[in-house]
């Protein structure tokens, strides 16, 4: 912007004249204008009086108003103001508080001039991005919110058309596509628009239920039909009478069960496990898989006749990388939902950050994008997600610098983010898990990640432990490409224990 020919202004707030002097010298070595304030009160007054500086360096321990107090006043008066806190005492509490009250970063005294300059550069870049983000305009309309599926790409428009075509009848639909592309969402949308909308929609994840339990789960059982069957139990098909059953991961269903599903499709009837009575059921079946069923039919691991019955209409969900034009609206949609659920405060993404997201390859598709937005929304300090807030793997793929990615110049900032003393070496439980590392930086430990989880999620209404366990189990299953045995091993659990975690929630 040509208007920014004016040099950026940096306000230095410290009650120690020597520190102000040396910081002023370091910062003035660049074409930056430095203004000094000798107390928290004076610093706050200068910001309020305006024009606000582009960046504030603020000391934590000062006589009179403390740095943390000043930070809160500054952020209340000017929510987009970027503030870097400075302190000689690296305690976990100050670091956590600093980030909680919206400091951009945190630096330890005595400073290394090169680090201070790099940090200021980084913050000023973020400041410029924040200003640019003011122009971002929402594009989603209320109908999209009601529907829960967004996407204006031609391929998604085709998907919406097919959904519209299959809602009037009870035709069986097979939804295929990579993980996280929205298969379940489409199944729910078909149900919502069909005449069965007032009746149940039941999703059965065939991969998560052990083979010996799935038949009882689907068709129910009679008392005493197997060890543990202490009473009669109705299965999903009976419970779902009049409604829609979604057979998710149908490629993982055992051949014996496949035969019984075929019977439901052909005759509309079931038998409970251990029973002799034939029960009529009126259920529409939708199915999904990310396996190649044609190959499974050839290798005789999937029944050919069932394949044709399920596959009357096929909806192939396109991977996100084939529809990058949908990314901005999905991002916006996720953010709005997070704000509505009070899981995030921010509702905007800077254009530069959006450009990075739009260029990414998204192997985990919409689910991965949602997860990235969530993580970024939680750690961002301003009201807008900037490129530096994106997880490190996304930034690295796009070549974007960021505090976590540039560990050497910003070592002290690790203190603030992880809540760990900078000097402490990694504890024995340190992990190199990509999931955890991606959340806040490469040197993250399990302890630091959990600090983060507690400060951000601990106050939610649902109990935390089952949520974490279920999330870990889901992630393990994803990283083992759906192989439950491998996933269980990864977590040090037995397969039934893993399956129990997956079902809780
Ligand atoms: N077009 C879309 N618009 C908005 N949200 C979407 C869209 N597609 C997917 N999502 C969201 O992405 C997440 C993954 O979607 P869904 O569970 O339907 O995918 P899936 O294909 O069933 O994945 P998997 O194969 O891993 O089971 C969900 O939270 C869903 O709400
Ligand atoms: Mg699914």
Asked whether residue 92 is assigned to any structural domain, the reply reads: yes
> How distant is the alpha carbon of residue 171 from its chain centre?
34
- Listing DSSP states for 131-189 in one string gives HHHTT------HHHHHH-----SHHHHHHHHHHHHHSSS---EEEE-STTSSHHHHHHH
Domain with 105 in it: what CATH number? Answer: 3.40.50.2300
Supply the pLDDT for residue 336.
87
Structure tokens at 355: 């450009």
* Best CA proximity match to 29, nearest among 143, 120, 106: 120
Does the structure show a pLDDT above 80 at 451?
A: no
Domain-located, residue 203 = yes
pLDDT band at 456 (very low <50, low <70, confident <90, very high): low
Residue 239 lies in a domain: yes
Tell me the per-residue pLDDT of 238-252, one tens digit each, with 9 for 90 and over. 999 999 999 999 999
Considering the domain architecture, whether residues 103 and 172 belong to the same structural domain is answered as no
pLDDT at 452 > cutoff 50: yes
Q: Reduced to 3 states, what is the DSSP secondary structure of residue 315? A: strand
Q: How far, in Å, are 130, 217, 276, 398 from residue 221 at the CA level?
A: 60, 8, 11, 54
36 membership: H or E segment, kind and range: strand 33-37
How many angstroms separate the alpha carbon of residue 365 from the centre of ligand 2?
Answer: 12
Q: Is the pLDDT of residue 58 over 80?
A: yes
What's the CA-to-centroid distance between 305 and ligand 1, angstroms? 29
Q: Is the pLDDT of residue 28 over 70?
A: yes
CB atoms within 10 A of CB 314: 11
Q: What is the DSSP letter of 285?
A: E
**486 located within any domain:** no
In a domain, 484, yes or no: no
State the total domains in the chain. 2
Name the residue at shortest CA distance from atom 18 of ligand 1. Answer: 182
Same domain, residue pair 246 and 114: no
pLDDT-derived band of residue 180, with 50, 70 and 90 as boundaries? very high
Strand-pairing partners, residue 43, are none
**Percent of the chain topping pLDDT 70:** 82
Ligand nearest to the CA of 185: 1
Q: Is the pLDDT of residue 198 over 80?
A: yes
On average, the pLDDT of the chain sits at 82
Residue with the two structure tokens 């901005």: 328
Kindly identify the ligand whose nearest atom is closest to the C-alpha of 331. Answer: 1
In sequence order, the 6+-apart residues with CB closer than 8 A to the CB of 438 are: 375, 391, 392, 393
Please give the pLDDT value at position 402.
59
Residues 90 and 227 in one domain: no
Percent of the chain with pLDDT over 90: 46
CB contact set of 469 (below 8 Å; sequence gap of 6+): 501, 504
Residues near 322 by beta carbon (within 8 Å), at least 6 away in sequence? 155
Same domain, 72 and 15: yes
What would the mean pLDDT of 177-206 be, rounded to a whole number? 93
Residues 179 and 264 in one domain: yes
Here the CATH number for the domain that contains residue 184 is: 3.40.50.300
CA of 290 to the centre of ligand 2 (A): 9
Q: What is the pLDDT of residues 279-308, one digit of tens each?
A: 999 999 999 999 999 999 999 999 999 999
Query: Ligand 2 centroid to 185 CA: how many Å?
Result: 8
Distance separating alpha carbons of residues 187 and 461, to the nearest angstrom: 29
Domain's final residue, options 294, 317, 340 = 317
What is the mean predicted confidence (pLDDT) over 383-405? 78
Question: Does 416 score more than 60 pLDDT?
Answer: no
Nearest partner of 235 among 207, 181, 267, 277, judged by Cα: 277
Whether the pLDDT of residue 444 is over 50: the answer is no
Q: Among residues 317, 351, 381, which one ends one of the domains?
A: 317
**353 is a domain residue:** no
Instruction: Looking at the structure, tell me whether residues 166 and 77 fall in a common domain.
Output: no
Best of 143, 177, 180, 289 for a ligand 1 pocket test (most atoms within 8 Å of beta carbon): 180
| CB-based contacts of 49, cutoff 8 Å, min separation 6 | none
Query: Does residue 80 sit in the same domain as residue 217?
Result: no
Domain of residue 234 covers 154-317
- Domain termination site, one of 269, 291, 317: 317
Structure confidence at residue 459 as a pLDDT band (50, 70, 90): low
- Nearest-CA residue for ligand 1 atom 25 is 179
pLDDT for the residue 56: 96
* 205 and 124 in a common domain: no
- Give burial (CB, 10 Å; 0-12/13-18/19+) of 140: middle
Measured by CA distance, the residue closest to atom 9 of ligand 1 is 182
The verdict on 121 and 226 lying in the same domain is no
pLDDT of residue 401: 67
Give the span between the Cα atoms of 296 and 318, in whole angstroms: 21
Does 239 share its domain with 311? yes
Same domain as 62, residue 115: yes
Residues 263 and 170 in one domain: yes
Ligand 1 binding pocket, CB closer than 6 Å = 149-151, 177, 179-185, 290, 330, 333, 366-367, 370
Task: Provide the pLDDT for residue 421.
Answer: 30
In a domain, 37, yes or no: yes
**pLDDT digits 0-9 by tens, 65-79:** 999 999 999 988 887
Residue 499 in domain: no
């Amino acid at each position: 912007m040509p208007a920014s020919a004016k040099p950026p202004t940096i306000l230095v707030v410290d009650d120690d004249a020597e520190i102000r002097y040396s910081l002023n010298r370091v910062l003035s070595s660049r074409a930056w204008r430095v203004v000094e304030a000798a107390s928290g009160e004076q610093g706050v007054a200068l910001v309020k009086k305006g024009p606000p500086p582009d960046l504030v360096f603020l000391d934590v321990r000062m006589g009179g108003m403390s740095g943390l107090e000043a930070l809160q006043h500054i952020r209340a008066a000017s929510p987009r103001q970027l503030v870097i806190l400075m302190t000689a005492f690296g305690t976990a509490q100050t670091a956590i508080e600093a980030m909680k009250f919206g400091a951009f970063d945190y630096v330890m005294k005595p400073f290394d001039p090169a680090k201070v300059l790099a940090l200021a550069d980084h913050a000023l870049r973020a400041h410029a991005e924040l200003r640019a983000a003011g122009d971002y305009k929402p594009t989603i309309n209320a109908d999209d919110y009601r529907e829960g599926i967004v996407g204006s790409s031609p391929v998604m428009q085709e998907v919406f058309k097919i959904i519209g075509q299959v809602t009037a009848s009870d035709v069986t639909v097979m939804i295929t596509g990579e993980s996280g592309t929205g298969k379940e969402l489409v199944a729910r949308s078909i149900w919502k628009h069909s005449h069965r909308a007032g009746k149940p929609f039941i999703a059965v994840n065939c991969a998560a239920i052990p083979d010996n339990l799935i038949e009882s789960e689907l068709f129910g059982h009679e008392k005493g039909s197997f060890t543990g069957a202490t009473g009669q139990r109705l299965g999903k098909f009976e419970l779902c009478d009049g409604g829609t059953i979604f057979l998710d991961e149908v490629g993982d269903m055992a051949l014996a069960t496949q035969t019984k599903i075929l019977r439901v499709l052909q005759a509309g009837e079931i038998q409970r496990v251990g029973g002799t009575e034939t029960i009529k059921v009126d259920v529409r079946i939708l199915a999904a898989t990310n396996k190649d069923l044609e190959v499974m039919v050839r290798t005789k691991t999937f029944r050919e006749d069932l394949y044709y019955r399920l596959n009357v209409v096929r909806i192939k969900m396109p991977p996100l990388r084939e529809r990058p034009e949908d990314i901005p609206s999905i991002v916006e949609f996720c953010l709005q939902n997070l704000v509505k659920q009070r899981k995030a405060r921010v509702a905007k993404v800077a254009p530069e950050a959006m450009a990075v997201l739009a260029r990414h390859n998204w192997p985990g598709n919409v689910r991965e994008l949602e997860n990235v937005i969530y993580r970024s929304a939680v750690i961002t300090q301003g009201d807008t997600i900037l490129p530096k807030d994106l997880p490190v793997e996304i930034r690295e793929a796009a070549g974007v610098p960021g505090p976590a990615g540039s560990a050497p110049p910003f070592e002290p900032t690790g203190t603030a983010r992880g809540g760990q003393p900078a000097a402490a070496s990694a504890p024995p439980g340190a992990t190199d898990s990509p999931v955890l590392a991606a959340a806040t930086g490469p040197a993250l430990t399990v302890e630091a990640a959990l600090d983060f989880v507690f400060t951000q999620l601990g106050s939610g209404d649902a109990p935390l432990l089952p949520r974490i366990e279920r999330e870990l189990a889901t992630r393990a299953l994803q990283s083992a490409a759906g192989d439950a045995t491998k996933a269980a091993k990864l977590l040090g659990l037995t397969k039934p224990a893993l399956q129990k975690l997956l079902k809780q929630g």
